[in-house]
Amino acid sequence: QLWMKNEEVINLKMLLKENDELIENLTKEMDKLEAAHFHLKKKLMDAEHNRVDQLWIKNEEIFKIKMQLREMEERNEIISALKKEVMEVEHSREDQLWRKNEEVFDLKMLLEVNEGGNKNLQKELERLRAPIVKKAGSKAKKTFNEVMEKKKNAEAVDKNNGNVAGSANTESRIVYLSKKGGNDLGLVVNITEDSSVIVGQVIPGGTSDQLGGMEEGDEIVSVNGRRLKGDSIHSDYDFIKKLQGKIIFEVRKNHEQALLPKTQYAL
């Protein structure tokens, strides 16, 4: 019995040893399982964080897309409003163009209707103008002939007084000016010591400056056939101031200007 008990004890010890080894193995397996569980839990948490981050990113992208869509809608509204305005302007332009075409058509019709009348009016104007032109031409020719005749007489008088007519210092020319209403001729004349009437200044923008022909330093020999001399300038001045319409000046170039002016008059 004792021997049998010893064998049982030995068997129990062996069994306990095996159980201890099994428990140790189980403990190791449990540690491995816990480590694996920890890793899995960590991976799960990381995956959850990644999912949250991706979800946040997706939400931001969705928000940006919504904002872009809103901007596009606003732009579409603006474009629609602009298209509407353009269409209204286009319709208005077409209406105006249509009205203009109607007006042009009406004007063409009026022109066609009045064309015959205009031809008759043109003929009537030419008929009325012919005697006026003829009369004006005759009058101008008569005035010119009178001036040339007086010029010849003046040259003859100068020749008799010892002056050489037609020389470089006494060569004359005709200048035509015109005066209307109370306007001046735009001239300042100097009366020199030898009683000559010299153009001292052609006022810029005045009648003489606009019509041309009169130059500073010219001696005015006659006005409308009336000879000028410094000693009778008062009466000549009144005569010139009263003149109206076309005025014919006889002037002389290259006059000796060394003498200082004694008196000045504005014409």
Summarised one tens digit per residue, pLDDT across range 52-97 is 989 999 899 999 999 999 999 999 999 988 988 888 888 888 888 8
Q: What is the pLDDT of residues 158-176, one digit of tens each?
A: 554 443 333 344 578 888 8
> What's the pLDDT at 64?
92
Mean per-residue pLDDT for 103-107? 75
Quickly state the pLDDT bin for 266 (edges 50, 70, 90). Answer: confident
- Dihedral sign for Cα atoms in the order 22, 23, 27, 28: negative
Query: Chain-wide mean pLDDT for the chain?
Result: 77
Radius of gyration of the CA atoms of the chain, in A:
61
**Residues, the chain:** 267
Q: What is the pLDDT of residues 137-150, one digit of tens each?
A: 555 555 555 655 66
Backbone torsions φ then ψ of 246, nearest 5 degrees: -75, 130
> What's the pLDDT at 78?
92
> What's the pLDDT at 162?
41
pTM: 0.37
Give the list of residues 6+ apart from residue 267 with CB closer than 8 angstroms, or none. Answer: 184, 185, 186, 187, 188, 189, 237, 240, 241
Quick one: what percent of the chain has pLDDT higher than 70?
Answer: 71
Instruction: Please answer whether residues 199 and 187 qualify as being in contact, where contact means their C-beta atoms are separated by less than 8 angstroms.
Output: yes
Residues 128-160 as b/e (b if ≥16 CB within 10 A, e otherwise) read eeeeeeeeeeeeeeeeeeebeebbeebbeeeee
Q: How far apart are CA 112 and CA 56, in angstroms?
A: 82
Instruction: Please answer whether residues 199 and 216 qualify as being in contact, where contact means their C-beta atoms are separated by less than 8 angstroms.
Output: yes
Which one-letter amino acid corresponds to residue 62?
I
Q: How far apart are CA 261 and CA 161, in angstroms?
A: 24
171-266: CATH class: mainly beta
Instruction: Please answer whether residues 198 and 190 qualify as being in contact, where contact means their C-beta atoms are separated by less than 8 angstroms.
Output: yes
Q: What is the pLDDT of residues 181-216, one digit of tens each?
A: 777 888 888 888 777 888 888 888 888 888 888 888
